[in-house]
């Protein structure tokens, strides 16, 4: 995708602080970290969002979830981490290239979803 910022990172046209890369995925630090550890794991293939995945994406999605704790451990999340996939307008998605946020640090993260709202 010509104008997708994450495709540009995949191609090397936009710099990113990469923490992991293989033939299918790349992970890099979020430019606006919400916690001491905050990186994004994205497939190199352009998929706009989790809403757009198809049956043929199942193995890619499985690998994405499998890689998540591997890279999280490498980044020092030994006591856990939070994963977030924002999807579409309601989910607050800003970049329409599928990505998992992996967020962690030393201390417990604040509760992000408050019940009763």
Give the per-residue SS3 of the chain: CCCCHHHHHHHCCCCCCEEEECCCEEEEECCCCCCCEEEEEEECCCCCCHHHCCHHHHHHHHHHHHHHHHHHHHCCCCCCCEEECCCHHHHCCCCCCCCEEEEECCCCCCCCCCCCC
- Known catalytic residue at 46: no
Closer to ligand AMP by CB, 32 or 114: give it: 32
CB of 73 to ligand AMP, least distance (A): 21
Closer to Zn ion by CB, 7 or 60: give it: 7
Work out which of 46, 60, 86, 95 binds Zn ion, going by CB under 5 A.
46
Which of Zn ion, ligand AMP, none has residue 83 at its interface (CB below 5 to 8 Å by kind)? none
Applying CB under 5 A, the span of 31-39, 78-86, 91-99, 109-117 interacting with Zn ion comes to: 91-99
Question: What is d(CA 104, CA 37) in angstroms, rounded to the nearest whole number?
Answer: 5
**Among residues 46, 99, 114, 115, which one is catalytic?**
99
Which residues contribute to the site for ligand AMP (CB under 6 A)? Answer: 5, 14, 16, 28, 30-32, 40, 86, 92-95
Contact criterion met (CB below 8 Å) for 88 and 52: no
| Residues classed as catalytic | 99
Binding positions for Zn ion, rule: CB under 5 A: 1, 4, 6-7, 46, 97
């Amino acid at each position: 995708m010509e104008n997708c910022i994450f495709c540009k990172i995949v191609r090397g046209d936009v710099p990113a602080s990469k923490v992991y890369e293989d033939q299918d995925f790349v992970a890099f630090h979020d430019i606006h970290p919400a916690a001491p550890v905050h990186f994004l794991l994205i497939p190199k293939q352009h998929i706009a969002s989790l809403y757009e995945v198809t049956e043929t994406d199942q193995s890619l999605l499985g690998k994405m979830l499998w890689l998540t704790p591997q890279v999280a451990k490498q980044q020092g999340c030994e006591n856990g981490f939070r994963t977030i996939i924002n999807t579409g307008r309601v989910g607050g998605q800003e970049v329409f290239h599928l990505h998992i946020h992996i967020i962690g640090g030393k201390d417990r993260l604040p509760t992000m979803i408050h019940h009763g709202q």
